[in-house]
């Protein structure tokens, strides 16, 4: 047991403390009160019990300083006395076995117990046994059976799932080690094992890499990151002990890293689209989430065989090196900081190469495209996935974060990190189609739409046809609906919208982009060769009729171009916006911050009755490259209406389409009998096809007829879900069985 204690202590404490941590400890020591009512004046009683979590967090930090051998506070008698007093005060005034739990169950059963147990590990030989026993009695009471949660708050406690189950198992395991109870540690291990399975409904990881928490929320970047961190901590902690987790658990964790986290990592940080409430927390932004994934991967590598270890560490090395905005080593935990330094110095572990791919997470309505120097994400919701989560006073203005929100990431690593969420216009998030009306905090949170057609088809993990049938659940009175598509064609992204309708007078807009600018707000923006929006501090909307627009980035490689394939009217606004973390999170700082933004949007007017939009996003294109593309576009729109969205890319040989309605409809060379997403590509040997049912509810075969320019002579490869009929001519008929396919794509390879 002592070995397990020592191993866990290495996770949380080292020899030294960073300057910021020392300052916090000094502040907490100087401001600690000796009063019955309060321990710190700035931590008043909170009805949700968050004050208890803050208090134990401060005591834990002070205990770490006390036990860090090269820290000025090492074994400081005054600090030791204050930590002891703080724990006694906590027991007497806030957290004891006689309390009647109130507020948020999470603080009582997870947050406070884990922090308290880690504090006891640090202070074990410095505290009276009687105090330790009283605190452990309290922890054991409120944590209870890890298989259930909220046990003191509801008559019938619901099962613990996902991250909550891992956290509760962690609390039981730590208590068992401190108490020296081997049987209890075995029980904690057994309680954890149900986490290690992929799910087909509810909370957990899915086969396609999706991660769900709280029943229907996409949460890889929030609860998923926490689950991975704590699963890996426990797995490495128990490795080579009688309580070691089974090999199958390790193998599945490796798959989770590969399928769920690696696709969302870009230049060392984690994309925002599956962060949930985390986006409203100043200390849990995308770089912090990325650092957590890096930490988990470094720890996990310790229990892998050599080949797996090198493969994972080469990725980790690439992430650490690429993130020059927020350095991993600046705030790495003690046990991984040294490991990361050694990795950077290890010439035998080469940097993994950047990968180009397209991935659809069909079970959480999220999509990512990564290409040379950029990543592009799409956030959606449907009849299966909730709009957004806003509870506990967090994510108060997340109204439209799943309305097709599309973020383009590039070499400007602070684009979505430097106070983006408190200062961006929450009604004008890029990619969204919305009514431009401020809503009440939390409006529309936790809502499903009545629309099933959300998802798409992906060919060869490279090219995607993504679709979203949008229904507004934030402002239902306006009755806004729209059909939205994204065709992901390498370094060209075609965004189409049709059938945009609403019934009230609120203005409807589709936001092309809303990019945070450099600190001076003077990034150049050009339309058809003419500079616009020249005055950073002068918020005046300009109306354009562009063929193309180019926006200069704040760093090399951060430029972006836009091509408009049809005549249109675009509005452009450069403005300085102000906001605070408190405006989007009750626990945030009220300090006002200012940032410059450049917004481009289509105005659909009031009560649109079937409006459309179209543009092509060109990541990393210079002004000259954007202008050249507009003169000779390799992409053209084949159809844009309420029946079909279809495009063709002549350079890639791709035709892609969304068939929105049930019933036969022919678009160009492709006819389809029902709702479907299709990507078709010409290659030297013939054709490749991907097909999917984004609705995930169809049970009857979907029939497709395709007329090719050359006779099809053979079927080189096909999914078992596809049946095909061809007669040696250029016409092919196939049947796709969508029943139970879960929105996944299925493939067919045809030869000529």
Query: Given the DSSP bridges, would you call strands 507-516 and 433-435 parallel, antiparallel or unpaired?
Result: antiparallel
Indicate which residue of 214, 281, 363, 595 is catalytic.
Answer: 214
For tokens 């991935």, name the residue: 359
In the chain, what is the greatest distance between 2 CA atoms, to the nearest angstrom? 89
Q: Tell me which residue has tokens 């049946």.
A: 723
- Check residue 148 and report its DSSP letter: B
The H-or-E segment that residue 18 falls in is none
For tokens 């019933």, what's the residue?
663
Residues sharing a CB contact under 8 Å with residue 356, sequence separation 6 or more, in sequence order: 370, 371, 372, 462, 490
**Kind plus residue range of the DSSP H or E element containing 261:** none
Confirm whether 277 is a catalytic residue: yes
* 223 labelled catalytic: yes
In whole angstroms, give the CA distance from residue 59 to residue 459.
53
Structure tokens of 268?
Answer: 């060392």
Examine the residue annotation and report whether 142 is marked as an active-site residue of this protein: no
- Say whether 178 sits in a helix, a strand or coil: helix
SS (H, E, C) 553-620: CCCCCCCEEEECCCCCCEEEEEEEEEECHHHCECCCCCCCEEEEEEEEEEEEEECCEEEEEEEEEEEC
Tokens coding 13: 């404490």
d(CA 548, CA 568): 11
* Tally of CB atoms within 10 A around 41: 11
Q: Which is catalytic among the residues 277, 281, 366, 492?
A: 277
Q: Quickly list DSSP for 356-423.
A: -EEEEETTTTEEEEEETTEEEEEE---SSS-S----TTBSTT-TTTTSSEEEEE-S-TTTTTSSHHHH
DSSP label of 159: B
Whole-angstrom distance, CA of residue 141 vs CA of residue 30: 33
Contact 663, 703 (CB under 8 A): no
Place of tokens 């109204």: 399
Which conformational region is residue 586 in: left (phi greater than 0), alpha (psi within -120 to 50 degrees), or beta?
alpha
Q: Which of 11, 142, 206, 223 is catalytic?
A: 223
Q: Which of the residues are catalytic?
A: 214, 223, 277
């Amino acid at each position: 047991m002592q070995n397990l204690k020592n191993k866990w202590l290495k996770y949380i404490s080292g020899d030294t403390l960073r300057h910021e941590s020392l300052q916090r400890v000094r502040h907490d020591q100087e401001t600690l009160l000796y009063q019955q009512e309060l321990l710190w004046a700035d931590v008043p009683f909170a009805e949700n019990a968050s004050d208890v979590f803050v208090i134990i967090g401060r005591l834990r930090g002070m205990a770490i300083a006390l036990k860090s051998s090269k820290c000025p506070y090492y074994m400081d008698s005054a600090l030791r006395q204050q930590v002891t007093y703080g724990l006694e005060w906590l027991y007497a005034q806030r957290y004891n076995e006689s309390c009647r739990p109130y507020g948020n169950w999470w603080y009582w059963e997870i947050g406070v117990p884990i922090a308290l147990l880690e504090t006891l590990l640090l202070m074990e030989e410095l505290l009276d046994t009687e105090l330790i026993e009283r605190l452990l009695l309290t922890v054991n009471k409120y944590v209870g059976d890890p298989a259930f949660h909220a046990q003191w708050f509801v008559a019938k406690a619901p099962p613990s799932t996902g991250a909550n189950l891992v956290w509760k198992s962690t609390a039981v395991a730590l208590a068992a080690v401190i108490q020296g109870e081997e049987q209890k540690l075995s029980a904690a291990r057994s309680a954890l094992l149900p986490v290690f399975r992929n799910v087909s409904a509810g909370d957990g990881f899915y086969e396609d890499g999706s991660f769900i928490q709280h029943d229907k929320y996409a949460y890889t970047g929030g609860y998923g990151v926490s689950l991975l961190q704590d699963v890996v901590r426990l797995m490495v902690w128990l490795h080579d002990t009688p309580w070691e987790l089974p090999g199958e658990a390790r193998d599945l964790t490796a798959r989770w890293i590969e399928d769920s986290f690696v696709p969302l990592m870009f230049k060392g940080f984690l994309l925002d689209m599956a962060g949930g409430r985390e986006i409203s927390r100043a200390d849990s932004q995308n770089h912090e989430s990325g650092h957590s994934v890096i930490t988990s991967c470094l720890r996990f590598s310790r229990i892998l065989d050599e080949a797996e270890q090198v493969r994972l560490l080469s990725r980790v090395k690439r992430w650490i090196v690429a993130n020059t905005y927020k350095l991993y080593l600046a705030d790495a935990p003690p046990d991984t900081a040294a490991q990361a330094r050694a990795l950077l110095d290890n010439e035998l572990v080469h940097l993994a190469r950047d990968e180009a791919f397209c991935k659809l997470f069909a079970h959480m309505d999220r999509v990512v495209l990564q290409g040379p120097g950029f990543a592009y994400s799409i956030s959606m919701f449907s009849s299966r996935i909730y709009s957004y989560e806003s509870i506990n006073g967090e994510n108060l203005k997340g109204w439209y974060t799943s309305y097709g929100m599309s973020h383009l990431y590039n070499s400007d690593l602070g684009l979505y990190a430097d106070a983006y969420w408190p200062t961006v216009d929450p009604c004008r998030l890029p990619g969204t189609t919305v009514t431009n009306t401020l809503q009440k905090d939390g409006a529309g949170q936790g809502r499903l739409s009545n629309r099933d057609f959300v998802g798409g088809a992906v060919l060869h993990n490279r090219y995607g046809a993504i679709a979203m049938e949008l229904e507004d659940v934030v402002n239902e009175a306006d009755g806004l609906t729209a059909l939205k598509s994204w065709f992901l064609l390498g370094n060209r992204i075609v965004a189409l919208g049709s059938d945009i309708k609403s019934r009230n007078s609120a203005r409807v807009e589709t936001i092309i982009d809303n990019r945070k600018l450099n600190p001076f707000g003077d990034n150049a923006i050009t339309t058809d060769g003419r500079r616009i929006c020249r005055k950073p501090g002068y918020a005046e909307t300009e109306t354009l009729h562009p063929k193309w627009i180019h926006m200069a980035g704040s760093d090399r490689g951060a430029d972006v171009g836009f091509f408009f394939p049809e005549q249109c009217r675009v509005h452009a606004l450069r403005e300085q916006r102000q906001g605070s973390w408190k405006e989007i999170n009750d626990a945030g700082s009220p300090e006002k911050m200012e940032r410059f933004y450049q917004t481009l949007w289509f105005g659909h007017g009031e009560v649109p009755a079937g409006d459309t939009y179209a543009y092509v996003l060109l990541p990393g294109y210079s002004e000259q490259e954007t202008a050249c593309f507009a003169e000779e576009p390799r992409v053209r729109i084949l159809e844009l209406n309420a029946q079909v969205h279809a495009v063709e890319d002549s350079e890639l040989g791709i035709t892609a389409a969304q068939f929105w309605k049930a019933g036969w409809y022919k678009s160009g060379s492709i006819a389809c009998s029902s709702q479907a997403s299709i990507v078709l590509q010409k290659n030297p040997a013939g054709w490749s096809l991907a097909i999917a049912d984004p609705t995930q509810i169809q049970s009857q075969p979907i029939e497709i007829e395709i007329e090719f320019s050359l006779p099809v002579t053979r079927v080189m490869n096909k999914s078992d879900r596809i049946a095909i009929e061809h007669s040696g001519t250029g016409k092919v008929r196939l049947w796709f069985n969508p029943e139970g396919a879960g929105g996944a794509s299925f493939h067919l390879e045809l030869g000529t």
